[in-house]
Amino acid sequence: MNIAVVTPGGDAPGVNAAIRAVVRSAASQGFEVFGVERGYMGLIENAFRKLSPRDVSGIINLGGSVLKSSRCELFKTPEGLEKAAENLKAMNVDWLVAIGGDGSLKGAKEVSEVSGIPVAVMAASIDNDIAGVDETIGFDTAVNTAVEAIDKIRDTAVTFERVFIVEVMGRQRGFLAIDVALASGAEIALIPEHPVTHEDVSQRLLKMGSLGKKSSIIVKAEGAMGDPFETASRLSRLTGYDFRVTVLGHIQRGGVPSARSRTLACLFGNHAVRLISEGKKNRLVGLRDNRVVDISILDSYTSVKKIDENKYRLVSLLAV
């Protein structure tokens, strides 16, 4: 059995631990593994390299992906998919394992449809926005990275009695922003799922000011309320408060994976190889109700994950 493993799209801390888990679990079954370089681009460019258990030594603690990644527009075209399918078949690949988020899921589904080669997808994304699973590889590390940064920002916010807008990743969804806001004790979470006006936010800040709060932290998801610097100047005009902005950006994607992210990676990788041994095709592996599960890729792809409204409400409730 030949397995190709690919890490497309945004990287997430723990992806290397996931590659290692796939390679070593596959070795225990006598399967061969090929690593695909630069995400789906490598399928088109025929960039495969054999991975033995020794090739994945010393990577469990590394951020990024040793296989590299890319955003590959060509893969979204029929020509790109055809080429990828052709290369997979030429390499005698029996099964494709993709480690990534919603873009990886979509790509895996499409290349499987074109090539007829079954896929297993391991949920890995700092956005944690994959429908059907509660937690992805890398989410825990990204939350901790952002919380650690906000703890530092709060020191200066309190000292100068300022309001800080801290922008975290999440173009479409606010899962990261909600967990970061709750765990950092932020006063306000701004997420794409709950649009608010500048007037709403300024009223909330003024109310907190009247309750004696002299500084506040607003955790804003990338996709909520537009440009953070413009938002800050409008809110400053409306409230009279002194604002500063920190955009955390890609530091949330990198760094040493937390123990939790690594553990999920080990469990998901082993589960993906078990699916291959059992011939269970086109499944997404993730954590649900604290158990490692596999669900139909199609079901995940056609659903939208809901945010935890209780967690979202709790941010404001605990900010009085």
Q: Which residues bind ligand F6P (CB under 6 A)?
A: 10, 71, 101, 125-127, 169-171, 222, 253
Q: Shortest Cβ distance from residue 89 to ligand F6P (Å)?
A: 29
Helix (H, G, I), strand (E, B) or coil at 94: coil
Q: Which is nearer to ligand F6P, 87 or 252 (CB)?
A: 252
Report the DSSP pairing between strands 283-288 and 291-296: antiparallel
CA atoms within 13 Å, Cβ hemisphere of 22: 30
Q: Which is nearer to ligand F6P, 37 or 127 (CB)?
A: 127
How many Cβ atoms sit within 10 Å of the Cβ of residue 36? 30
Cα distance between residue 215 and residue 161, in whole Å: 5
Q: Shortest Cβ distance from residue 222 to ligand F6P (Å)?
A: 5
| Sole residue written with tokens 């990644």 | 69
Q: Shortest Cβ distance from residue 160 to ligand F6P (Å)?
A: 29
Closest to 98 in 3D by CA, of 49, 35, 51, 46: 35
Closest to 319 in 3D by CA, of 224, 211, 179: 211
Cα distance between residue 13 and residue 254, in whole Å: 6
Closest-CB residue for ligand F6P? 10
Catalytic residues: 127
Q: Shortest Cβ distance from residue 253 to ligand F6P (Å)?
A: 5
